[in-house]
Homo-oligomer: A and B are copies of this chain.
């Protein structure tokens, strides 16, 4: 056990799995860097250094730099997965899925079903997501709702270094295509992470705290925001349960429904665009299956229906924040069903 950053936790997960299983390979643009250059090899280790050192340890055959052509290499990862390897492909920014969605949505995700159960596609696609980096509209999207919508994919949004390591090892060992999304603002976050390999199962939510008054469901980086909001609210006597679903597909609906059955009040925090996102998904689940328990409207803390703006002032305004979560929780906590209902 030692303090590790989110970046280090991911790097370690990859390294340990590559040591364990020679079929695990990595590919992506500059996952090493330096190929065809005049300087050093393994020059970058990913655009933000997450895969640094892996080519040095595992060689050019297992850590493959690619041309800038996402459709071909993401498709290649799918094809390799269907034929004996266990590729981890890096898409860099999840926004680039626009260049390779077909290979994810129509190929990898559907093989098994279309082929009547005869394919296995143990593929992991890693990508970074999220606003807060002044990276503007084409490099700041969350997009996990899009992947969650597609049957055949599993979707992981880790909320901390500990979660990231365990969930990534699970993803690599999983036999289905997994989209593994890393919030780009979190790479330097640190916490204690075991040195040895471990897995965290998919579809099992983590309760980062338990309380009586309001349930908060939050995804990825938003879990931290929710915890901070819960801390503040606690001081005012509002106690919250905070649910980190860890994976949006599969989604641990049981835990969400149980918690709402207890608190009767729900706030969902989702940094993805608001229409047809995870906040709507969870709200619909609860409005259908825990209706009786609900004592207040289901509040969503989500960005507005706009692209992500560049300027810091606007980006801050765009993002869900601790303050907005706090306000939403207060409003549902204070809510009382009207007499006539």
Q: Hey, which bits of chain A sit against chain B, CB under 8 A?
A: 71, 95-106, 109-110, 113-114, 136-138, 145-146, 148-152, 249, 251, 272-273, 275-281, 283-289, 291-294, 296-300, 305-307, 309-310, 337-338, 340-341
Contact = CB atoms under 8 A, between A and B. Distances in A.
Nearest to A251: B275
A291 B283 CA distance: 12
Contacts of A99: 71, 101-102
Contact of A137 (B110, B299, B310): B110
Given A98-B102, A291-B296, A300-B288, A307 B149 contact: no
A98 B95 contact: no
A286 B105 CA distance: 30
Contacts of A150: 273
Query: Oligomeric state, in number of copies?
Result: 2
A298 B288 CA distance: 5
Given A150-B273, A297-B288, A105 B98 contact: yes
Nearest to A136: B114
A276 B277 contact: yes
Contacts of A280: 276, 280-281, 283-285
A113 B276 contact: no
Given A102-B99, A291-B298, A297-B287, A309 B113 contact: yes
Nearest to A101: B98
A307 B114 contact: yes
Nearest to A98: B102
A149 B275 contact: yes
A65 B158 CA distance: 45
A149 B138 contact: no
B288 A283 contact: yes
